[in-house]
Amino acid sequence: MPPIENDTGRAELKTRIQQLIDSNPVLVFSKSYCPFCVKVKDLFKELNVICNAVELDLMADGSNLQDMLMEMTGQKTVPNVFINKTHIGGCDKTLQAHRDGLLQQLLGGENETYDYDLIVIGGGSGGLACSKEAALLGKKVMVLDYVVPTPLGTTWGLGGTCVNVGCIPKKLMHQTAVLGTAMQDARKFGWEFSEAVKHNWETMKTAVNNYIGSLNWGYRVALRDKNVNYVNAYAEFIEPHKIKATNRRGKEVFHTAARFVLATGERPRYLGIPGDKEYCITSDDLFSLPHCPGKTLVIGASYVALECGGFLAGLGLDVTVMVRSILLRGFDQDMANRAGEHMEEHGVKFLRKFVPVKVEELEKGTPGRLKVTAKSTDSDEIFEGEFNTVLIAVGRDACTGKIGLDKAGVHVNAKNGKIPVNDEEQTNVPHIYAIGDILEGKWELTPVAIQAGKLLARRLYKGGTLKCDYVNVPTTVFTPLEYGCCGLSEEKALELYGQDNIEIYHSLFWPLEFTVPNRDNNKCYSKIICNKLDSERVVGFHYLGPNAGEVTQGYGAAMKCGITKEQLDNTVGIHPTCAEIFTTMEVTKSSGGDISQAGC
């Protein structure tokens, strides 16, 4: 049939198409031989949805229909998909709509409307970043945040772990300890102060918590200013698109949303031994402890354990760290052991290869007295010790068990409670996403969660395509001698590239600031791991020394740009600094050459 020239014919054709669109819940204009059309039809089959296909190649006026479709939808190609009268587009758009949950929403019949475009569960760094970004892009957003009190009743405000019971108070208390060391150094530099120096826990605690209070308020104001609806209530799914929010007084309110972001984070794990929840504290309690913890036993060798043990010792307290096997699991072990050795040299006691059995209270008080019984992991030896405070830092559990994920159909790794997602932070349920510490196999770091949350919102609501990059993320452990790293550990590099294909450059160094007080010579250490198969590109960066965070951040940027050993060598150092050591690394680990710093 020739193209239709007259208007009547065109109008008729248009009406015919419109009728098809109006009368079929799912309509696909298709060509019988087109593989993309088959793909789309298969998708609907998979979804158990009846799909009506109009095979244009089998119709006499098929090409006229196709032209008219072009005029009506701006799309010339097939498949051309309509759901409940809404034009979806071609194969890619349909598959995308399925991934976004839009398809399900449209198929859900009667164009169901939700209270919100997005509900974010969890008001930590990731959840706040995501919700604010989504609201900025014009979406109707709700954030629910609720802190379940610790067994000892500690609770806190908006902002999540980092702000309240993590990075922020940790770094401030680490700084408190660093100042203590600086005061000792100061006498060597000529400062004279006669009185014995004392530390007041309560002053520090109040100052730190006042700052946190101001941050909590700042977050609250930011949510108001960006039109995010914030609710201080515990959220759990009761249907895939519906949650129940329970507030402090037990009042329940229901909310629905087109999409959800899970950002509930993690909480410290307990030991499951007698007395742990009754008498022990975790990092959730430590930073707001009303009294000085006194003689402290830290159980665990996680970074939380070493950081807390480190600053407590730095305040002058008697600190013992009970380690089951290794320090800083997952981190470069050479570096972890060096950081541990430094702690040991500065008075922290390590009780290795022991696990606690029970904790008993000898005397109540602020602090009281506790008796800890532990057993050796490789002999019958029993340890009994008396402490004022026992801090458990043996890891953290994802808060995914009590938020009704089964009702929403979200898969959770039963072993660790973590949520598997694709590279776009999408769970197995297309309209539910997850970010932050609860993700399986991803970094548990605030800036990573923020980045992921922001980029997710932009992809969902701004057509963004950028995905969160989880490679070469720099981080720092604030042990007394700080440890910064980026990229691979030595163990991981060996595993990935093989001994023959990596070259490790390393060096001890003595910060200028340490020379006058004459302390910690040949303790600071730097190491880079290079891939010989790729122009000695730096794949691992490790730094043990003062200001590790400041040093590592810049080198992290360089690694993002793919810096090689040669480019590091061509970089001019800043003198005198610690960071400059990386521009003059000559000794390889394989050579066994001397890396100690000789005196002048």
Partner 1 sequence: MAHRLLVRRIWTVSVRDVRCPRAPSSALYSTSLCSSASPQPLLSPRRSLTRALPVTSRRQVSFNVQDQEDFTERVINSELPVVIDFHAQWCGPCKILGPRLEKAIGKQKGRVTMAKVDIDEHTDLAIEYGVSAVPTVIAMRGGDVIDQFVGIKDEDQLDSFVKKLIGQ
- How is the beta sheet containing 52-55 ordered, strand by strand? 52-55, 26-30, 80-83, 86-89
Q: List Cβ<8 Å contacts ≥24 apart for 249-254.
A: none
| 335 DSSP 8-state letter | H
205 residue type, one letter: K
Q: How far is the CB of 210 from partner 1 (least distance, A)?
A: 4
* Stretch of residues binding partner 1 (CB under 8 A), selected from 115-123, 187-195, 213-221, 386-394: 213-221
Return the number of the residue (81 or 208) whose C-beta is nearest partner 1. 208
> Do 353 and 377 contact (CB within 8 A), yes or no?
yes
Q: Which of 408, 459, 406, 460 is nearest to 429 (CA)?
A: 408
Determine how many CB atoms are found less than 10 A away from the CB of residue 500. 9
* The binder of partner 1 chosen from 33, 189, 191, 217 (CB under 8 A): 217
* The binder of partner 1 chosen from 14, 87, 140, 220 (CB under 8 A): 220
36 residue type, one letter: F
Tell me the sheet residues that pair with 53.
28
Question: ∠167-522-532 over CA atoms, to 5°?
Answer: 80
Q: How far is the CB of 53 from partner 1 (least distance, A)?
A: 53
Q: Measure the CA–CA gap between 545 and 509, rounded to whole angstroms.
A: 9
* Stretch of residues binding partner 1 (CB under 8 A), selected from 35-43, 221-229, 233-241, 591-599: 221-229
Return the number of the residue (213 or 401) whose C-beta is nearest partner 1. 213
Q: Does 172 bind partner 1 (CB under 8 A)?
A: no
- How many residues of this chain bind partner 1 (CB under 8 A)? 13
Q: Does 169 bind partner 1 (CB under 8 A)?
A: no
Residues 140-159 that bind partner 1 (CB under 8 A): 157
* The binder of partner 1 chosen from 194, 214, 379, 465 (CB under 8 A): 214
* The binder of partner 1 chosen from 73, 181, 209, 373 (CB under 8 A): 209
26 residue type, one letter: V
Q: How far is the CB of 117 from partner 1 (least distance, A)?
A: 22
Q: Quote the tokens at residue 137.
A: 């892009």
Q: Would residue 575 show up in a list of annotated catalytic residues for this protein?
A: yes
> Do 14 and 20 contact (CB within 8 A), yes or no?
no
Go through the chain and tell me how many residues it has.
Answer: 600
What phi and psi values does residue 147 have, to the nearest 5 degrees? -95, 110
- How is the beta sheet containing 281-282 ordered, strand by strand? 281-282, 389-392, 296-299, 319-323, 349-352
Q: Does 203 bind partner 1 (CB under 8 A)?
A: no
Return the number of the residue (157 or 484) whose C-beta is nearest partner 1. 157
Return the number of the residue (77 or 216) whose C-beta is nearest partner 1. 216
Q: How far is the CB of 221 from partner 1 (least distance, A)?
A: 5
Identify the three-state secondary structure at position 46: helix
* The binder of partner 1 chosen from 40, 68, 141, 212 (CB under 8 A): 212
* The binder of partner 1 chosen from 9, 108, 213, 409 (CB under 8 A): 213
Q: Which residues bind partner 1 (CB under 8 A)?
A: 157, 209-214, 216-217, 220-221, 224-225
Give catalytic residues, as residue numbers: 575
